[in-house]
Structure 1
Amino acid sequence: MKISEHWLREWLPVDLETQALAHRLTMAGLEVDGIETAAPAFEQVVVAEVVECSAHPDADKLSVCRVDDGSGELLQIVCGAPNVRQGLKAPLARVGGVLPDGMKIKRAKLRGVESTGMLCSARELGLSEDAAGLMALPADAPVGRDLREWLQLDDAVIEVDLTPNRGDCLGMNGVAREVSALTAVDVTAPEPETVAPVLDDRVDIALDDRAACPRYAGRVVRGVDVGAQSPIWLQERLRRAGVRSLGPVVDVTNYVMLELGQPMHAFDLARIQGGIIVRQARDGETLRLLGDETVELRAGTLVIADHQGPVAMAGVMGGADSAVVDDTTDILLESAFFAPEAIAGRARQYGLHTDSSHRFERGVDPAGQVRAVERATALLTAIAGGQPGPVLEQVDDAHVPAPRNVTLRAARIRQLLGMDIPAEEVTGILQRLGMAVTAEGDQWQVRVPAYRFDISIEADLIEELARIHGYDRIPETRPATPARIQPQSETQLPVARLRDVLVDRGYQEAVTYSFVEPGVQALLDPEQTPVPLANPISAEMAVMRTSLWPGLVKAAVYNRHRQQQRLRLFETGLRFRGTLDDLAQESMLSGVVLGPVVPEQWAERPRPVDFFDVKGDVEALLSVSGRGEAFRFVPDTHPALHPGQTARVELDGESVGWLGAVHPQLQGRLDLDGAAFLFELRLDVVQQARVPAFEPLSRFPSIRRDLAIVVEASVSAAALDGCVRQAGGELLKDVILFDVYQGEGVGDGMKSVGIGLILQDLSRTLVDSDVDAVVDRVVAQLRHELHAELRG
């Protein structure tokens, strides 16, 4: 929100320099993003009046003007503006003056006619983008007056970045209230005058959805001159707030919004059929908006309608078919309170964002609607004439937010802030913030106004005291509570340890959004139906992720497009599966790998990463828990992965993750320019660790026996290892698979595997009979379970 400092000081005469005021606002939570002057620098520009105007003798598009600049002599100015005419008052840059673009005004001859100055447009002075003609000034503008001084263009415009909970400060009255509390200076702005009705014209108002719109105020004003020019002071205040002047009716409603924080709208009364109805949109209804865009209204959208159909999207934007136009004479001013939850996200659903929706989503004053109508009526009738009818209001008190009563205790202030604030200061701060305060001993009964939606409990009031008293004035104290060391289970690996393992293996951690693009989600996890967002930030973040893969793949593609050839990314986070009513949130650890195995170097030839490289990374991760041998990699299929390079990770027969190459048919659709590998593991399983325990070392030598067996080519190394260990018993200390051979001497569909058995005992040296017994059991188990035979 942009705040004119001059306008603010009209509300309360604070004795602070601009920078000091901005600092106080920032320290109170109203962060100031920047300060700029109301207009760029220019010199020797005065108010002037065109006394005579005639055509240039040698140029059809030029005029020769005699201009009064207040110096006592008429100046001859050659001007090409289409709106120059006798009697027009406009800015004049005198000879020697300097414009914002650095141009210095000199005497000149234009087509043989001398010109001693330059009549200026608003664009040439940096006051707007309008370059269609001269900047027309009011008829009462003082000739010869310095334009900067007369328009107070040295005013500072303070831009404040408000947090969503401070909707009460989206109007000058709210900002002034904050500054009053910060400086202990009372607000002196006058209350809006009540305009007596001249007519008895009324419009029926019906509230069909009273929970969404419990208060609606309106007023008929007839005989309005919509072609009247808004006064320069009003145009300037709108401009400094970043709002364009569009005529008296729109200017007045925008001004009231900026002043009181209450959005308003004006309908062309002749285009309203029957009366006003506030209701929910119906199936099939459409609305042509002010931007001339026609939208199909959705269920859950609150609309303002007449007896023929919707005329405005409530709290967002008016309709073009009921808008004030050039031939409008009678209008209906409207001001409403819409429940924030009824408006939140509706504008984004239609790709819109307006000043009105910005305010209604955060909450406006539930009691300020009639006040806004009265203020707008007074301004409009003073500028454009008109005869007002009575103020019409429909209210459902049961649904209008009411002021809240909160008890504030001095002891609780001391406990939360670590300091005492004098009782007089507590009362003064809260009263200047618009609250009614009654002292009762060492506590206060505080009545919080309804427009402060962010205050409901005692801690909220204490936060207000801390803000206004000054965070920088709160003393630093040590906590009174003794520190306690939180127990850490030895059976639970910290996530930081897992991260370190992956970082040590060349990975980098990524953090992606939990909201993903539906198309990418469907490609990578088609068997799951994601939960859609009611109010997505964008179309690319429309559903909750059922896997971490979509975000990681998008991150990988983003990096590949920026010449990063070797990528190792991992992420820990939640995936969301199920329906909204029964949503399972599981912590996962996922990764994406693509590019060469090692960085480019002289000592090793480049080789693209393959399935077994990534499997090695996953095995290293699983082995940190001390129970890596308990996990099994089982060949399987996954819709997003290569059918010949996919493994399901199992623990005790339960699936706990996946590993594999991205399916070749998906690479192009995912914008991947080569093979990529993905893995995903349940984090809770990976974090379960085996408690380290001492095992005695044998003083006796170990014995190795090697076996060459022939098995079917489909038998996995994990199956062989498990079978041998199961049969080996206590004497078998390790199993080494050291050779695999297929070819001459081995039948088709078979393979020869070399297995080394390491045997050892703690109490004695093994003899041949001990070793032979173990070997016989292993061979028998291999033959029985895997149909293996010793190679001859």
Structure 2
Amino acid sequence: MRVPVSWLTEHLETDENYSAEQIAEAFVRVGLEVEEVTPLGPVTGPVVVGRVAEIEELTEFKKPIRYCMVEVAEADDHDDVIEGEPRVRGIVCGATNFAEGDLVVVALPGAVLPGGFSIAARKTYGRVSNGMICSARELGLGDEHSGILVLPSGEAGAGDDAVELLGLDESVIELSITPDRGYAFSIRGLARELACAFDIDYRDPAAIDAPGAEGDAFSVTVEHETDCPRFVARRVTGVDPTAPTPFWIRRRLMLAGVRSISLAVDVTNYVMLEMGQPMHAFDTPSIKGGLVVRRAKPGEKLTTLDDTVRELDPDDIVIADETGPVSLAGVMGGASTEVNADSTDILLEAAVWDPASIARTVRRHKLPSEASKRFERHVDANIPPMALERAARLLRDFADGSIKPGRTDEGGVTALPTVTMQLGLPDRVAGTNYERGATVRRLQQIGCTTEVFTGDDGKSYVVAQPPTWRHDLAEPADLVEEVLRLEGYDTIPTVLPAARPGTGTTASQRRRRSVGRALAEAGYVEVLPFPFVAPSVWDSLGLAPEDSRRRTVSIVNPLEAERSELATTLLPGLLDALVRNVSRGMRDIALFHIGQVTLPKAQQVPVPEVGVAGRPSDAEVASLHAALPQQPVHTAVVLTGNRERAGWWGPGVRASWSDAVRAAEIVAEAAGVELTVKAGELAPWHPGRCAQLLVGDLAVGYAGELHPKVIDKLGLPARTCAMELKLDGLPLVERRPAPSPSPYPPVLLDVALVVDATVPVAEVADTLRGGGGDLLEELNLFDVFTGEQVGEGKRSLAYSLRFRAPDRTLTVEEATAARDTAVAAAASRFGAALRA
């Protein structure tokens, strides 16, 4: 909501001149969000009121251009000054919404308008334009730019200072109002908050003496009181339809972002902004018979003020006459009873509507309005008579209207339920001791009536009756919040609680952190994808109908309707992230994620209903845990593109299935377990490029290149690789090794073994390690060769071996003996032979 500072401070009982920045800070202190503080202008130099004396239409141009002689009172001598007449300026203008005799705002040469726009005399369209006639937007008053700003006659004279008249030296504050504070959608509510923040008295704009209802102003019937708890109407006759809206009203509307339309409409908008009570003005002669507030009937239609024919729903609340609906209640009026240029008899209506019904109507018809925004958040049922009186008096004062005796007032005001709270509860919640009487004083400041009593337990309590505009005060916690925010959140002490003694992170937490750190150090980037998947993803991954991963847990209220299942594998979320990165121009990508998967139980246990009145029992907690699905932690990686990027150092190395296997080995090393790798087959991996990962005899995951059909269906880059490992399936190893590096030099030897092509490389490496004994410090495979030299069905595996003794310098003879023992073990198990 946009509010000018002068309109707010008008309702504060103080002689202090608060700046816009002080007011914005005060709003923040009491919990309101300030979006922006916008000072008007700056406008410098001569900006004055001018009277249009003569208009010459320049017809030789394609668009309307006028040469206007504008009286600006006293001015320096100039060629276009008419002798014996008030001094005038010739100004070229393209707007057509003004006539001779109108008062306009003129920026004379030397003036600087908002945005640094300097005004100077210049020749244009064959004339010398000695100034500029300004629009509201050019002056920084609002966004209206369809025509220049025309001032009402009688409110100023030619030559008056327009900067002072228009108040171009003040600021506008824009606030973001939360849905629970509907009362703050008004000057009345915001000024009250400001008075609380500054701890000063407040002048209520609704404090108007509304005369009693001396008979009905108009016949109104309300069919259902729940739809319309209160309906008030007042009639004003003899209104001058040509009367202009006073500029001070137009100015405030402009600064609040509301377009001026006509006096009757502007008055209802003005009162809505001031008091928070939306109103509607009917052209009384257009109403046939009395008004009835009811639900729409099937098939009924209404042409609203935006000239749109709307088919009504039986859930819509309407105001109808004998001909049918004439207004969509609380949202928008109907065109058939619209106040027009000939309306002299006006029926003003102010009502209170059911918030939920108004919200449904707005969404159904996609028709948000300033009125519905307030009705959805509750309005004060106590002020419709005062709001009508304020609007009626404005029409009487500025349009020569006559307020008809009597007021229709259907329904009434229902007091909100009282709330009882321990008097010291705000102090305990805030962890501080407020000044004695602060709680009662703050509750009274927001409009509550209070009563303090001593309970049977000897403690003091306060009974608060919330005001009719605070429907959000329903329980003691709400009252506590009011006291705390008005006393100031900055007065609440911030003391960190002492940490409970314990052992720190658990072994599984430490393992998870180690795995994540190891993958990050290896060049993988962690992502946190959503755990929700669409049922169709399993077909895209090529899973068989009987695959256990298809059996998922469905979400009753998913964030996205098409993603309604909890994932049983981490791959869908990671592959989505991979596709998204590729679509943004990335080519070499390596991602990892450590997270839970959701595995439903074979037989679903019903979830018990547990109340919230107290802590659930141990049996209830156990039954809740029994009903939950299993959620083990997995880790997974996906990678595509180059593992080593191309550059001046070389062409780069493309990522392959072996890199996915290496990622699994990195996880195993970080977890402190030995991983066995052998050929495997499981969707969505390529059957010939898939490795099964085992710890002992237990399969814990798979790694390799994805199947080409899966890559094609998901839109993945070619040769995309992936790995997924059951992290919770790995044995938990508590490792705190103390490093003991040997100070003695190593002996480096290489060996190339020829084995059958079917022999797993990993098993050959394990055999060599076992044969090498304690002296073998490290073993690495650095070459794989196939060809005629080694024979058909054979391959050569070349390993580098590093031998070192912890307590002495190792001799070459000892290292060679250890190597020969390792080769002999491989020859015995696999028939390996040294390559010549």
Instruction: Please say whether Structure 1 and Structure 2 have the same fold, judged by a TM-score greater than 0.5.
Output: yes
C-alpha separation in 2, matches of 1:200 and 1:404 = 35
Alpha-carbon separation, structure 2, partners of 1:473 and 1:505: 48
Aligned partner of residue 614 in structure 1, secondary structure: helix
Q: How far has the Cα of 1:142 moved from its partner?
A: 1.7
Answer yes or no: is the 8 Å Cα contact 1:65–1:76 preserved in 2.
Answer: yes
Cα contact 2:453–2:462 (8 A) shared by 1: yes
Shift of 1:371: 5.4
Alpha-carbon spacing, 1:691–1:243, altered in 2? closer, same or farther (3 Å): same
Relative to structure 1, is the Cα distance of residues 558 and 505 closer, same or farther in structure 2, using a 3 angstrom cutoff? same
- Find the counterpart in structure 2 of residue 160 from structure 1: 175
SS at match of 2:644: coil
Q: In the alignment, what sits opposite 2:49?
A: 47
Letter in 2 for 1:569: L
Q: Which segment is superposed worse, 483-492 or 432-441?
A: 483-492
- Aligned letter for 1:62? R
User: What is the deviation of 1:617?
Assistant: 1.4
Distance 2:634 2:329 in 1: 42
In the alignment, residue 462 of structure 2 is paired with which amino acid?
A: W
Comparing 436-445 with 524-533, greater Cα deviation is found at 524-533
CA deviation vs aligned residue, 1:459-508 (integer Å, no higher than 9, x gap): 443443332223334455565x6743366443554643332132122122
Give the letter aligned to residue 223 of structure 2: A
CA deviation after TM superposition for structure 1 residue 431, in Å: 1.5
Between 1:644-653 and 1:465-474, the stretch displaced more is 644-653
Tell me which residue corresponds to 1:343: 359
Cα shift readout 1:439-461 (whole Å, capped 9, x = no counterpart): 34655333344644555444443
CA 102–604 in structure 1, closer or farther in 2 if over 3 Å, else same:
closer
- The yes-or-no answer on 1:76 pairing with 2:76 is no
1:18 maps onto 2:20 in alignment: yes
Kindly indicate whether the alpha-carbon contact (under 8 Å) linking 2:790 and 2:796 is maintained by their aligned counterparts in 1. Answer: no
1:188 corresponds, among 170, 184, 203, to 203
What is the percentage of aligned positions where both structures have the same residue?
29
Do 1:48 and 1:67's aligned partners in 2 also have CA atoms closer than 8 Å?
yes
* Distance in 2, Cα, partners of 1:655 & 1:292: 69
Provide the residue aligned with 1:467 in structure 2.
485
More displaced 10-residue stretch of structure 1: 269-278 or 428-437? 269-278
Cα distance in structure 2, aligned partners of 1:342 and 1:474: 39
Aligned mates of 1:502, 1:2 — CA distance in 2: 51
Q: Deviation of residue 12 (structure 1)? A: 0.5
Deviation at 1:185, TM superposition (A): 0.8
Q: Does 1:676 align with 2:720?
A: yes
**Using the alignment, how far apart are the partners of 2:677 and 2:241 within structure 1?**
78
Give the match's secondary structure for 1:219.
Answer: strand
Pairing of 1:285-324 with structure 2 (within 5 A) = 304=318, 317-318=331-332, 324=338
For residues 178 and 161 of structure 2, what CA distance do their matches in structure 1 show? 39
Q: Which of the numbers 193, 218, 221 marks the counterpart of 1:178?
A: 193
Which residue number in structure 2 is paired with residue 566 of structure 1? 588
Equivalent residue for 2:445?
432
Please say if residues 56 and 64 of structure 1, whose CA atoms lie closer than 8 Å, have aligned partners that are also in contact: no
User: d(CA) in 2 for partners of 1:326 and 1:487?
Assistant: 75
Report the number of matched residues: 735
Work out which of the residue numbers 88, 101, 108 in structure 2 matches 1:87.
Answer: 101
**Aligned residue for 2:656?**
610
TM-score using structure 2 length = 0.68
Residue range with higher mean Cα deviation, 485-494 or 234-243: 485-494
Map residues 357-436 of structure 1 onto 2, 5 A cutoff: 359=374, 364-365=379-380, 372=387, 375-376=390-391, 378-379=393-394, 385=401, 390-393=407-410, 402-410=416-424, 412-436=425-449
**Change in CA separation of 1:674 and 1:332 when aligned onto 2, cut-off 3 Å:** farther
Quick check: 1:42–1:125 contact (8 Å CA) kept in 2? no
Instruction: Select 1:507's aligned residue among 524, 532, 557.
Output: 524
Note if contact 1:53-1:64 (Cα within 8 Å) is conserved in structure 2. yes
Match for residue 683 of structure 2 among 622, 637, 640? 637
**Structure 1 stretches lacking a partner, 5+ long:** 695-705, 725-732, 757-770, 780-787
Residues 596 and 634, structure 2, Cα contact 8 Å, conserved in 1: yes
Structure 2 counterpart of 1:676, which letter?
T
3-state SS of 1:407 partner: strand
> Following the alignment from structure 1 to structure 2, what is the Cα–Cα distance between the partners of residues 323 and 549?
62
CA distance in 2, matches of 1:518, 1:313: 42
Distance 1:291 1:577 in 2: 54
- Where in structure 2 are the equivalents of 1:224-235 lying within 5 Å? 229-235=244-250
The 1:325–1:53 alpha-carbon spacing in structure 2 relative to 1, beyond 3 Å, is: same
2:5 partner letter? E
Which amino acid is the alignment partner of residue 352 of structure 2? A
Q: Deviation at 1:30? A: 2.2
Aligned residue for 1:137? 151
SS in 2 for 1:217: strand
Q: Deviations over 1:123-146 (max 9, x none)?
A: 443334444443111122121331
Give the Cα separation in 2 of the matches to 1:3 and 1:604: 64
Match of 1:241 in 2: 256
**What is the CA–CA distance in structure 2 between the aligned matches of 1:655 and 1:287, rounded to whole Å?**
69
Change (3 A) 1:515 1:260: farther
Shift in alpha-carbon separation, 1:83–1:431, aligned structure 2, 3 A: same
CA distance in 2, matches of 1:258, 1:585: 55
- Residue by residue over 1:655-709, the C-alpha shift from the partner in whole angstroms, topping out at 9 and shown as x without a partner, is 98776656656657766554434555667657x7244599xxxxxxxxxxx9999
Cα distance in 2, alignment partners of residues 374 and 633 from structure 1: 87
Secondary structure, counterpart of 1:635 in structure 2: coil
The one-letter amino acid paired with 2:487 is: H
The answer as to whether partners of 2:49 and 2:156 remain within 8 angstroms in 1 is yes
Q: Structure 1 pair 46/437, CA: closer, same or farther in 2 (3 Å)?
A: same
3-state SS of paired residue (2:502)? coil
CA distance, structure 2, for counterparts of residue 304 and residue 685 of structure 1: 64
Cα distance, 1:362–1:131 mapped onto 2, change above 3 Å = closer
**3-state secondary structure, aligned to 2:642:** coil
Of 40-49 and 490-499, more deviation after overlay is shown by 490-499
TM superposition shift of 1:10: 0.5
Report the Cα distance in structure 1 between the residues aligned to 2:90 and 2:469, rounded to whole angstroms. 56
In 1: Cα distance, 2:262 partner to 2:691 partner: 69
Aligned residue among 442, 447, 451 for 2:465: 447
Deviations 1:51-90 (A, max 9, x none): 5556679999434535264789613333444244233121
Give the 3 Å change call, closer, same or farther, for CA 707–565 of structure 1 in structure 2.
closer
Contact 1:277 1:306 survives alignment (8 Å): yes
Give the TM-score of the pair, scaled to structure 1.
0.72
Q: 1:597: how far off?
A: 1.0
Aligned partner letter, 1:6: S
In the superposition, relative to structure 1, how do residues 168 and 129 fare at CA in structure 2: closer, same or farther (>3 Å)?
closer
The reply to whether residue 65 of structure 1 matches residue 69 of structure 2 is yes
**Deviation of the 1:235 alpha carbon:** 2.1
Distance 1:204 1:505 in 2: 76
CA distance in 1, matches of 2:692, 2:327: 55
Q: CA deviation at 1:332?
A: 6.9
Q: Does 1:277 align with 2:294?
A: yes
Mapped contact 2:753–2:798 kept (Cα < 8 A): yes
The residue identity in structure 1 corresponding to 2:198 is: T
Shift of 1:737: 12
Give the deviation of 1:438 after TM superposition: 2.8
Distance 1:645 1:351 in 2: 55
1:333-375 Cα offsets, whole Å, 9 max, x none, are 454344469838x867887765456555655546556655555
SS at match of 2:222: strand
- SS of 1:422 mapped into structure 2: coil
State the SS of the aligned residue for 2:148: coil
Q: Hey, what's the Cα distance between the residues in 1 that align with 2:780 and 2:395?
A: 91
Unpaired stretches in structure 2, ≥5 consecutive residues:
76-83, 455-459, 544-549, 608-626, 738-751, 768-775, 800-820
